[in-house]
Amino acid sequence: MSRIASTFARLRAAGRTGLIPFITVGYPELDTAMELVPAMVRAGADLLELGIPFSDPLADGATVQHSSHQALRNGVTVRHCLDTARRLRARVDAPLIFMGYYNPLLAFGLDRFAAEAAAAGADGLIVPDVPPVESDDLLAACRRHGLDLIFMVAPTSTEADIEEVARRASGFIYCLAVIGVTGARDSLSDELAGFIARVRARTDLPLAIGLGVSRAEHVARIGELAEAAVVGSALINRIDAAPPDRRVEEVESFIAGLRPAPALRTTD
């Protein structure tokens, strides 16, 4: 069983909603992740998304774009992201999932990236700008090296889209809570339950809901529908607002403040 699958199995056995924070590698400083990722795990994070910065992150809103651009100015490369994962794996047991755009991975080499990511201790990969029907090469590389390729679905996804994702995905499926780019929001969509029911009908994989998640009540609502919540922009905002010497404390406080979440949805 993969590290991602075993984590979701433990969450289900405990009746607990998973928490998946996202940070951009190399932001605000080159090695900030080495302090913040262990802090998030201590505070209750179950899986971690590590963003690979890219010059044109079209699926991301202003907050994540800002973090990505700053990381690039700090000199972050795909190689640095792989090295960061390797160093983090020596310090945390939680699954590490890279989130990055296709062009940097293609330039690095898809098979080379998958092999080195797995060797570094990464467990999965999210590539938001690769449609499932165009993912054959990437999926093959991930499968060769034991990485879960995690696909996204949105409220606008057709039934055929969802079925294609369900056929190819492993680990979990990332469900976008709203239509649009990343960014903290005040509330989740009233139509979220219907969308999640459409996805649930086509897969037995765990579902994680992200985009706009920023509060404990959001995580509580997500826990009624899915197995995990993803939080990114709100976390980056918290990092931005913290003095450098208080970042670890502020991040731990923010992640801990998203708990407790209600029991996971159960099926008969």
**For residues 108 and 55, what is the distance between their CA atoms, to the nearest angstrom?**
15
State yes or no: is 164 an active-site residue: no
State yes or no: is 93 an active-site residue: no
Crossing angle, helix 233-241 and helix 62-73, to 10 degrees? 60
- Give the pair of three-digit tokens for residue 71: 């990381």
Q: Which residues contact 6 (CB under 8 A, 6 or more apart)?
A: none
Among 60, 164, 227, 252, the one annotated catalytic: 60
Q: Which residues contact 216 (CB under 8 A, 6 or more apart)?
A: 257, 258, 259, 261
CB 105 within 8 A of CB 113: yes
Q: Chain-centre distance of CA 239, in angstroms?
A: 17
Prior bond of 28 cis (ω within 30°): yes
**For residues 119 and 113, what is the distance between their CA atoms, to the nearest angstrom?**
10
Position 199, amino acid: V
Among 29, 35, 49, 137, the one annotated catalytic: 49
Q: What residues are annotated to the active site?
A: 49, 60
